[in-house]
Amino acid sequence: MSRIDQGNDRDNVLRDDEGTIAEGDQKLQYLSRLTEQLQYRPVRQKIYREYEDHIDDETEYRISTGMTRAEAMKAAVEQMGDPVETGKALDQIHRPEKVLLPWLGMLFILGLGMALVYCIQRDMRGQLWSLVSAALPRRIQINWIDLFLCIIVLTAVSYISYTKYQKFSVWAGLILMITPVWYLIHRTGIGGNICPVLDDTVQHLLGGEKGWITRRYYLLYVPIYGLMISYWKGKPHQMEKSLLAMALPLVLSFDWSVTDSELGSWGNFTFWTTALYLAFVFVMAVQLNIISLPKRKTVRITGVALVLAKGIYMLYDFAVVCHARWSVYYHHAGWNTMFLFFSEKRRREYSALWKTIVGDDQVSALQLFHVQMMQGIKWIGTSDILTQKLAQNEYSAEQVYLYITHGDLNTLMAYVGILPVVFVLGALTVFTVWLVKKAWRQSDRTGRLLGVSIGFVILLRILYAAAQAFSLTPGNHYVGLIPVFGGIGTEDYSGIAETLALYGMLLSIYRYRNV
Q: Are 480 and 304 in contact (CB under 8 A)?
A: no
Whether 206 has a pLDDT exceeding 90, the answer reads: no
Are 204 and 302 found together in one domain?
yes
The count of residues in the chain is: 515
Is pLDDT above 50 for 13? no
Mean pLDDT of 418-438: 91
Residue 211's pLDDT is what? Answer: 35
Please check whether residues 138 and 190 belong to one and the same domain.
yes
> Tens digit of pLDDT for each residue in 382-412?
888 777 766 666 666 556 555 555 556 777 7
Looking at per-residue pLDDT, the higher value among 262 and 357 belongs to 357
Rg (CA), the chain: 29
Q: Are residues 133 and 76 in the same domain?
A: no
Give me the pLDDT at residue 405, please: 54
Query: Are residues 152 and 85 part of one domain?
Result: no
Instruction: Give residue 210's pLDDT band: very low, low, confident or very high (50, 70, 90).
Output: very low
* 508 confidence band (pLDDT: 50, 70, 90): very high
Q: Which range among 63-67, 137-141, 283-287, 477-481 has the greatest average pLDDT?
A: 283-287
- pLDDT value at position 477? 56
Please tell me whether residues 385 and 291 are part of one structural domain.
yes
Q: Do residue 78 and residue 108 come from a single domain? A: no
User: Which of these three, 93, 123, 158, is where a domain ends?
Assistant: 93
Farthest CA pair distance, the chain: 102
> Would you state the pLDDT for residue 95?
79
The number of C-alpha atoms within 13 Å of 483 and in the hemisphere containing its C-beta is: 26
Same domain, 155 and 43: no
pLDDT of residue 104: 92
Question: What is residue 186's predicted lDDT score, i.e. its pLDDT?
Answer: 57
pLDDT-derived band of residue 422, with 50, 70 and 90 as boundaries?
confident
What is the Cα 11 distance to its own chain's centre?
Answer: 48
Q: Which residues pair with 15 in a beta bridge?
A: 21
What's the whole-number mean pLDDT along residues 212-236?
Answer: 82
At how many degrees (to 10) do helices 494-511 and 144-158 cross? 30
Percent of the chain predicted with pLDDT > 70:
72
Instruction: Output 135 or 319, whichever has higher pLDDT.
Output: 319
Q: How far apart, in whole angstroms, are the C-alpha atoms of residue 280 and residue 18?
A: 65
**Is the pLDDT at 265 greater than 80, yes or no?**
no
Angle among Cα 109, 112, 116 to the nearest 5 degrees reads 145
Q: What is the pLDDT of residue 293?
A: 93
> Would the pLDDT of 466 be above 80?
yes
Look up the domain containing 307 and give its range.
100-511
**88 and 185, same domain (yes or no):** no
Residue 208 has pLDDT above 60, yes or no: no
Best mean pLDDT range from 158-167, 197-206, 293-302, 481-490? 293-302
pLDDT for 130 beyond 60: no
Tell me, what amino acid is at 270?
T
C-alpha–C-alpha distance, residues 34 and 86, integer Å: 7
Cα dihedral sign for 308, 311, 315, 321? positive
Same domain, 77 and 131: no
pLDDT at site 192? 46
Q: What is the pLDDT of residue 158?
A: 93
Least confident of 1-10, 123-132, 505-514: 1-10
The dihedrals phi and psi of 21, each to the nearest 5 degrees, come to: -95, 135
Confidence of residue 137 (pLDDT cuts 50, 70, 90): very low
Distance CA 425, CA 107 (A): 14
- Are residue 89 and residue 105 in the same domain, yes or no? no
**pTM: predicted TM-score of the whole model, two decimal places:** 0.80
What does the pLDDT read at residue 285?
A: 96
Of the three residues 44, 74, 93, the one that is the final residue of a domain is 93
When comparing pLDDT for 234 and 143, which is higher? Answer: 234
Residue 212 has pLDDT above 50, yes or no: no
pLDDT band at 445 (very low <50, low <70, confident <90, very high): very high
- The rounded mean pLDDT for the chain is 77
Banded model confidence at residue 204, pLDDT cuts 50, 70, 90: low
Q: Could you say which of 63, 93, 123 is where a domain stops?
A: 93
pLDDT tens per residue, range 332-384: 777 777 888 888 888 888 788 777 766 666 666 666 777 777 777 888 888 88
Q: Is the pLDDT of residue 48 over 70?
A: yes
Has residue 191 got a pLDDT over 60? no
Higher pLDDT, 4 or 383: 383
Looking at the fold, whether 79 and 109 belong to one and the same domain comes out as: no
Spell out the residues 6+ positions from residue 285 whose beta carbon is closer than 8 angstroms to its own. Answer: 226, 229, 230, 242, 291, 449
Which segment, 29-38, 286-295, 337-346, 381-390, is predicted with the most confidence on average? Answer: 286-295
Are 405 and 424 found together in one domain?
yes
Number of domains in the chain: 2
DSSP class per residue in 186-199: HHHTHHHHH-HHHH
Mean per-residue pLDDT for 325-330? 79
| Rounded distance between C-alpha atoms, residue 390 and residue 348, angstroms | 24
Report the pLDDT averaged over residues 112-120: 75
Q: Where are the alpha helices (DSSP H) in 159-255?
A: 169-188, 190-194, 196-206, 221-231, 238-253
pLDDT at 475: 63
